[in-house]
Amino acid sequence: MKYFNYKTYNLNKLFRKINFRRYDFLKLTRYINFKQFNLKKIYKYLIDLQYEFLKIFKQKIHKYYKASVIYLIGTTLALILIYLIIPFFYSYDKASMESLICEDFEIKCNVKGKIYYNFIPTPRLIIKNVEVKNLSEEKTILAKIEKIEVTLSLKDLYKKTKKKFNKIQLDKAKLFINYEKVDQYKNLFSKKKKSNVISFKKSDIDFFDGSNYIASINKIKGKYKYKKNYDKLNIKGIFLGDDINIDFESELNAEKNLAIKLKKLNFLTKINFIKNQKEKDTIEGKILIKKDKNKITSIFSLKDNEIIIKQANLRNTFSDGKISGKIKFKPFFDFDLNIDLKSLNFYILSKYINDLDDENKKTLFLINKKINGKINFNTDKMFSKKTLINSFESQIQFINGNILINKLLLSMGKLGAADLNGVIKNEKNFTNLRFSSNVFIDNSKRFFNKFGVYNKEKKPLVMFISGNLDLTNFKIRFFELSSEIKFANEDITYIENEFNDTLLVDGYKSLFDFSNFKKFIRLVSTQEK
C-alpha cells in the first residue's frame, strides 16, 4: 500500500466530473417488469424450504439424541452393575470381618457361618451364625445372632478395611442381659460407631439376675440410632404376653427420656432424668406411671441401684394420696413403699371391679412371680353408700406371686373394729385367700340395728373367723367360727351355705351389695342356734 499514491488518484475530483443528474434511476425502474416475479410464491417457497429443512434437521437430531440417550443410560447401568457385581469375587476373611464389625462395641465376635455379598436391594454383607462375647469375660455370651446384614456405603464398597456402614441389621438375634452387669453394658456403646443405625428384626432379649432367669421381650423389631453425643432407641415386642414399646433418647449433658408402654394392660411409664452435678454417682429425675385412669407422679433419685421415691402423688377415680419409699434392683429386685391415702371411695372402687369381665375378675389378684416387695397401706377416710368401714391400715407383702396380708386393721367407728391376716396364693388354675379374722363389736345392739335386727343385747361381742375364699370360683369355706364358744359343725355348715348363696352367688357384684350383707346378717342372727 505504501506504493499507492493517494494524491495522484484523487477520488473527490473524480466524483465531481461525473454528472449524476444525467442518469435518472427512477426511469430505469420502468424498464423492469416486476409482474414476472411472483413475490408471494417466492416467499412461500422460501418458507416451505425452511420448514422442510427444519423437519429433516429435527428428525436427524431426534434420532441421534434418542440413540445417544439410550447408549448413555445403557452404558451407565452397565457400569453400575459391574461396580456392584465385582465384590462378588472377593473372599471375606472371618477374622477380619469379626474385627471390622465388633470393634466398635468393645466385644468379641465369633463368626461360625458363611459370609457372602449381595447387592439387592442395596449392597450388603450377609454374615450367618455370629456369637458375641464380652472382651473381659470371654466365657460370658452376650448374644447369639442367626444373621447379620451389613448395608455398605457405595463409596466405600471396594475398601477392605475401615468401611463405612449405612446400617447393621440383626435378624433373629437372642440377647442376654444380666442385671448384675448393667454397668458393664454402658462401655459397649462408648466408642464412635461405623454405623449410625442398628436395627433389630424377629429378635429376643432374655433378662437374668445372676444365673436366675427373670423375663423376656420377644419378637423384637426396632432401631438404635447414633449421632455424635446423641443416642435414640425404639423397639417393639412382646413382654409377659403384652405388646411393649420402649423409646429412649439420650443427649450428652442433657436430660434423658425413657418411655415404656404396655398396650393390653394400658400401662405407661415416662422417666426424665439427669446426673446430679454435685454427686456424680447420683441420678435425679421425674417419673410418670399411668394405668387406665390411675396416675402416679414423683420426683426420685437413683444411687447404688436404689431408687428413693419422694414427693409422689397418687390419683385415680376412687382415691387420692401420697407415696414414699425405696425400690432396690440389687442384689435382687425388691421394694418397700408407703401409700398414705387421704380418702378412698369404696363405692367407685367396687363399681370398677364389677365392670371387669369374668376373666379379669378371676385374675384380679394374679401377680407376676418376679414382683417382690412390701407395701404399708392406709387410708384416713373411706366412703360408701352404707358406711360400715371408716378407715383402715395394712401391711401387704408380695412373695413369688403370692400376697401376704400381715396386718389389716379395719375401723368401724363407734360400732367396733376388726383385723384380718392371711395369704392370697396363686396356683396354676386357681387363686385362694386363706384367712383368719377377729371382729370386735363394742355395742352389739347398735351393730345389729344397722342390719334391721332388733331386741339384741347391748353387751360387747367378739367373734373369731377362719376359712378359705376361692377367688376363682367364688366359694367360701369356714374352718372355725367362735364367740364365747366354738360353733358346732352344723352351724358352720349352715352359715357357710348362706354366705355362698347370698353374698357369692354373683361374685363380686353380690359380695359388694350391702343389701345382700344385711340379708345374710339377719338370716344367721335370727336362728335359735
For residue range 296-310, what is the model confidence (pLDDT) as tens digits? Answer: 898 988 887 788 888
Instruction: Determine which of 195-199, 340-344, 504-508 has the lowest per-residue pLDDT on average.
Output: 195-199
Instruction: Determine which of 110-114, 201-205, 323-327, 375-379 has the lowest per-residue pLDDT on average.
Output: 110-114
Q: Which of 227, 259, 276 is the last residue of a domain?
A: 227
384 and 514 belong to one structural domain: yes
Alpha helices in 367-455 (DSSP H): 444-449
Q: Tell me the pLDDT band of 164, cut-offs 50, 70 and 90.
A: low
Q: How many distinct structural domains can be found in the chain?
A: 3
DSSP code of 513? -
Q: Tell me the pLDDT band of 529, cut-offs 50, 70 and 90.
A: very low
DSSP code of 193? P
Cβ 453 vs Cβ 344: under 8 Å: no
pLDDT at 488: 92
Domain assignment of residue 1, yes or no: no
177 and 69 belong to one structural domain: no
Express each pLDDT in 329-385 by its tens digit: 766 678 899 999 888 888 888 888 888 888 888 888 888 777 789 999 899 888 877
DSSP code of 87? G
pLDDT at 403: 93
Q: Which of 212, 227, 242 is the last residue of a domain?
A: 227
Domain assignment of residue 38, yes or no: yes
Q: Tell me the pLDDT band of 183, cut-offs 50, 70 and 90.
A: low
Q: E strands along 263-293, which residues?
A: 267-275, 283-291
d(CA 207, CA 216): 6
Model confidence at 98: pLDDT above 80: no
pLDDT at 394: 92
376 and 495 belong to one structural domain: yes
C-alpha cell at 491: 352351724
pLDDT at 47: 67
d(CA 410, CA 393): 7
- When pLDDT is averaged across residues 496-518 and rounded to a whole number, the result is 91
Domain assignment of residue 132, yes or no: yes
102 and 125 belong to one structural domain: yes
94 and 72 belong to one structural domain: no
468 and 507 belong to one structural domain: yes
60 and 146 belong to one structural domain: no
75 and 149 belong to one structural domain: no
d(CA 184, CA 136): 10
Domain assignment of residue 293, yes or no: no
Give the whole-number percent of the chain exceeding pLDDT 70.
76
Domain assignment of residue 236, yes or no: no
Cβ 405 vs Cβ 435: under 8 Å: yes
116 and 190 belong to one structural domain: yes
pLDDT at 405: 93
Highest mean pLDDT among 185-194, 197-206, 475-484: 475-484
Express each pLDDT in 28-77 by its tens digit: 555 555 555 566 666 666 666 666 666 666 666 666 666 666 767 777 77
14 against 431, higher pLDDT: 431
- When pLDDT is averaged across residues 264-269 and rounded to a whole number, the result is 88
Across the chain, what does the average pLDDT equal?
80
Q: Tell me the pLDDT band of 237, cut-offs 50, 70 and 90.
A: very high
Model confidence at 159: pLDDT above 70: no
Domain assignment of residue 271, yes or no: no
Q: Which amino acid is at 10?
A: N
Q: Tell me the pLDDT band of 124, cut-offs 50, 70 and 90.
A: confident
Q: Report phi then psi at 138, rounded to 5.
A: -65, -20
165 against 223, higher pLDDT: 223
Domain assignment of residue 283, yes or no: no
C-alpha torsion sign, points 75, 81, 83, 89 = negative
Domain that holds residue 69: 26-84
pLDDT at 528: 45
pLDDT at 105: 66
117 and 186 belong to one structural domain: yes
Domain assignment of residue 163, yes or no: yes
Model confidence at 427: pLDDT above 80: yes
Model confidence at 527: pLDDT above 60: no
1 against 14, higher pLDDT: 14
397 and 431 belong to one structural domain: yes
pLDDT at 3: 45
pLDDT at 498: 93
- Element of type H or E holding 316: none
pLDDT at 478: 95
Q: Which of 258, 237, 263, 262 is nearest to 247 (CA)?
A: 258
378 and 469 belong to one structural domain: yes
> Which residue, chain included where needed, has cell 338370716?
523
